[in-house]
């Protein structure tokens, strides 16, 4: 039949390759496959099976990628398994060479034209074939001795194949060759000598595997005592280790590392007991993994290893100045810490809390502190942490248990005296169902208690007293008071325009230029261009948004450089017109806050976790029964301030010509804009009274003045907080006058000099003084 060509229907399958002369089962899962298989089985015709590699889908056929060798088969049995799968039994006949493909329809419906390859063996080839066949049969005999289960299969193949070495080769290959790549190579090899050689290599490899397994089994039996049968698996692993040259005693290694770790005596004693349990535990027990992980965690923890502290005040100061502008309070505190360390070598860990609006550099200054001290740094974010176990860990008896964030951080950093940053400590959730993580932090952040901190996973005391803990928060009031009492608070305030300009020039622009692959020397800002970017495209307490805006500018310039619109070495001068061209229309205006005098509208100064702001408090009177309506997402304290303000207004009605009957016939609606943002606190009291008196009396309120202060029922104006942030916001919006409580005069010391010079301050202690100034 050599050279004769015939046409057959074909079935394309993935990753299933059938060798000639064997009987096997297969599954058809694609509708086109099932239809062809059913039709062929009913007609008793032969069919060609083609195997695709490495494609793993049976839905689309690319004829150009199909193999040019297949197997001619007869389907002896066809059974449907449900509606989407058919199982077939096939008798494989012979290999065929695909001469042509005919795609009858879209999909897997194929017809192939094939030829039947035949090899005529020369005398020399016949001799080679017989020699290789002898080697194959010899190896199979050895395999049969080692594994009796295989012996019967080999005898059956020998009997059925007889002297036909072509059939013998394919049958042996079908039984022993598992890898589809090797099966494909054997199917496509038309030369019997080379085909037998491929089979010989596979059989030799299988014989080696069985021999090694047999040797290991024999050595294991010789070394195993009859009374220790339950340790059979461990003994096998030991012998395998010997074969691989990795013979060592894990338990001895653990004990040696434990004694060298510097851990306390109590810890060493407990862990040695766990090592003993590890040795005695059956290797098949789930507890073996738990014990090993626990012991390795203890050994990986730093017990005595520490970083050498930097003791040069000058060098530490230079490091802090290099990374951050201003922040004098934080820098002075770190310099003080280093100075005390020189005088007291036993100084324990300190707990600092940096409080300030987003983007002012709280997290990055903590990294600089570690750099200045010469210590390692580890950061843990507490935002959204709601489970006590995330701080204290899970007991090791639970599946998947692990240490808490504190011990995991210490293990990661590898020293006992790192700078440990707890970021966003005010964002921890309070969930009594899972324990209170804030309460779990009390022991960590207490210099007296953290010397013996116990993680649930460790079950032994761990010394945290050498750690310098730094926490960051946006809102001090959101930190539980017991936790707040354990920390030294350092406030980081908003930046002024001048400070932002200096930060941009010294830190942001060089960094952004480096990130975008542009030399900082080729770009310069003309006149007040940088100030223009800060004022017209950002309005924030920190510089995070400014960094993004500058990044956007540099990306525009990068595009122009790549497009050869700008020379890479040429100068780029940015003026206000070019900035508007690149960034688009200005987002903010210095005059976007109306400063016109109006009835019932007052400029109030607020302070929140994101910095200071100017809010227009509005009061409107509507026909009604004297009810008070409050909107703008106000907190309980601010609602009480509104009640107090209305009572104060009623008491002052006669002095400001207010018809007292209006309190009975008008409803009062007080609204504080930016309704999506929560607002609370008592400092809006004087602004509320001013707006109410204006609304009831019909007198306008000065629009060029902003005010803040708490008011009492008797009309006294009390001290408030956040003066720096509030005055900065007034300055930022271009408001000329600010009224503060008299008791806040001392607070001006913390207000930047440029703000003090740019605003007119008035200090008042009575609400009537404020009303006489504000009403026009």
Largest interatomic CA distance in the chain: 131
Residue whose tokens read 């009997």 = 159
DSSP string, 751-764: S-HHHHHHSEEEEE
CA atoms of 723 and 729, how far apart (whole Å)? 10
CA atoms of 687 and 710, how far apart (whole Å)? 9
SS3 464: coil
Q: In 408-459, at which residue ranges do the beta strands (DSSP E only) sit?
A: 419-423, 453-454
| 683 annotated active-site | yes
CA atoms of 111 and 40, how far apart (whole Å)? 12
CA atoms of 220 and 238, how far apart (whole Å)? 9
Strands 468-473 and 351-355: parallel
CA atoms of 469 and 20, how far apart (whole Å)? 73
Q: Structure tokens of 225?
A: 């005592």
Enumerate the β-bridge partners of residue 700. 599
Q: Which of 362, 427, 500, 726 is catalytic?
A: 726
Asked whether the beta carbons of 367 and 377 are under 8 A apart, the reply is: yes
Q: Which of 119, 120, 141, 121 is nearest to 130 (CA)?
A: 121
CA atoms of 543 and 520, how far apart (whole Å)? 19
CA atoms of 383 and 277, how far apart (whole Å)? 39
Residue whose tokens read 């932002």 = 500
| 520 annotated active-site | no
How are the residues of the chain apportioned to helix, strand and coil, as percentages rounded to the nearest 5?
50, 20, 35
Q: Structure tokens of 523?
A: 């770009």
Sign of CA dihedral 365, 369, 372, 375: negative
Q: Which of 408, 493, 494, 683 is catalytic?
A: 683
Check whether the bond before 54 is cis (ω within 30° of 0): yes
Asked whether the beta carbons of 350 and 344 are under 8 A apart, the reply is: no
Enumerate the β-bridge partners of residue 27. 87
Q: What is the CA radius of gyration of the chain?
A: 42
Q: Structure tokens of 642?
A: 């509104």
Residues classed as catalytic: 683, 726
């Amino acid at each position: 039949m050599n050279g004769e060509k015939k046409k057959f229907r074909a079935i394309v399958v993935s990753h299933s390759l059938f060798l000639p002369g064997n009987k096997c089962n297969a599954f058809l899962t694609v509708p086109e496959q099932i239809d062809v298989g059913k039709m062929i089985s009913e007609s008793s015709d032969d069919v060609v099976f083609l195997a695709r590699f490495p494609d793993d889908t049976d839905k689309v056929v690319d004829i150009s990628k199909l193999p040019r060798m297949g197997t001619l088969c007869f389907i002896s049995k066809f059974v449907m398994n449900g509606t989407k799968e058919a199982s077939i039994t096939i008798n494989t006949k012979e290999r065929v060479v695909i001469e042509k493909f005919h795609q009858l329809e879209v999909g897997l419906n194929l017809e192939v034209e094939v030829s039947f390859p035949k090899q005529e063996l020369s005398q020399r080839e016949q001799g080679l074939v017989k020699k290789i066949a002898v080697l194959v049969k010899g190896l199979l005999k050895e395999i049969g001795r080692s594994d009796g289960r295989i012996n019967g299969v080999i005898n059956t193949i020998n009997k059925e194949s007889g002297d036909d070495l072509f059939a013998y080769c394919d049958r042996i290959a079908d039984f022993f060759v598992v890898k589809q790549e090797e099966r494909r190579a054997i199917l496509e090899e038309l030369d019997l000598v080379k085909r037998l050689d491929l089979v010989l290599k596979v059989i030799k490899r299988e014989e080696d595997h069985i021999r090694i397994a047999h040797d290991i089994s024999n050595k294991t039996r010789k070394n195993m005592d009859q009374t220790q049968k339950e340790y059979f698996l461990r003994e096998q692993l030991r012998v395998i280790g010997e074969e691989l040259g990795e013979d060592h005693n894990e338990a001895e290694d653990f004990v040696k590392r434990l004694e060298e770790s510097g851990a306390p005596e109590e810890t060493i004693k407990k862990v040695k007991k766990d090592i003993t349990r590890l040795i005695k535990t059956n290797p098949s027990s789930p507890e073996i993994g738990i014990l090993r992980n626990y012991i390795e965690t203890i050994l990986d923890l730093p017990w005595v290893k520490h970083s050498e502290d930097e003791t040069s005040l000058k060098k530490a100061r230079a490091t802090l100045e290099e990374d951050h502008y201003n922040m004098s309070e934080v820098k002075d505190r770190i310099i003080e810490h280093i100075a005390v360390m020189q005088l007291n070598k036993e100084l324990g860990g300190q707990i600092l809390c940096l409080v300030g609006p987003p983007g002012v550099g709280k997290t990055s200054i903590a990294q600089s502190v570690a750099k200045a001290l010469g210590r390692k740094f580890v950061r843990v974010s507490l935002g959204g942490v709601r489970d006590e176990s995330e701080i204290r860990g899970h007991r090791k008896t639970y599946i998947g248990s692990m240490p808490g964030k504190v011990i995991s951080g210490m293990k990661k950093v590898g020293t006992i005296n790192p700078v440990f940053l707890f970021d966003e400590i005010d964002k921890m959730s309070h969930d009594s169902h899972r324990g209170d993580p804030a309460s779990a932090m009390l022991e960590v952040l207490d210099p007296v208690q953290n010397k013996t901190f116990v993680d649930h996973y460790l079950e032994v005391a761990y010394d945290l007293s050498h750690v310098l803990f730094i926490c960051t928060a946006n809102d001090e009031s959101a930190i539980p008071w017991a936790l707040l009492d354990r920390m030294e608070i350092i406030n980081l305030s908003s930046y002024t325009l001048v400070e932002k300009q200096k930060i941009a020039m010294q830190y942001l622009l060089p960094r952004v230029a480096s990130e975008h692959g542009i030399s900082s020397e080729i770009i310069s800002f003309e006149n007040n261009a940088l100030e223009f970017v800060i004022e017209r495209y950002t309005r924030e307490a920190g510089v995070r948004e400014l960094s993004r805006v500058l990044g956007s500018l540099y990306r525009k310039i990068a595009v122009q450089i790549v497009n050869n619109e700008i020379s890479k070495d040429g100068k780029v001068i940015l003026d206000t017109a070019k900035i508007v061209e690149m960034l688009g229309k200005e987002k903010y205006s210095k005059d976007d806050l109306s400063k016109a005098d109006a009835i019932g509208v007052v400029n109030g100064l607020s302070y929140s976790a994101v910095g200071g702001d100017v809010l227009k408090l509005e009061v409107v009177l509507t026909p009604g029964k004297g009810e008070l309506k409050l909107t703008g997402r106000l907190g309980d304290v601010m609602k009480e301030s509104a009640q107090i303000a209305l009572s104060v207004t009623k008491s002052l009605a006669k002095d400001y010509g207010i018809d007292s009957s209006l309190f009975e016939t008008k409803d009062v609606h007080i609204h504080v804009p930016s309704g999506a943002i929560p607002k609370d606190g008592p400092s809006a009291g004087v602004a509320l009274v001013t707006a109410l008196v204006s609304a009831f009396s019909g007198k306008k309120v000065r629009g060029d003045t902003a005010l803040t202060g708490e008011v009492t029922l008797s009309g006294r104006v009390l001290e408030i907080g956040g003066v720096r942030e509030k005055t900065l916001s007034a300055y930022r919006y271009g408001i000329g006058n600010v009224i503060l409580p008299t008791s806040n005069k001392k607070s001006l010391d913390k207000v930047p000099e440029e703000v003090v010079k740019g605003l007119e301050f008035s200090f008042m202690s009575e609400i009537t003084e404020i009303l006489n100034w504000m009403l026009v």
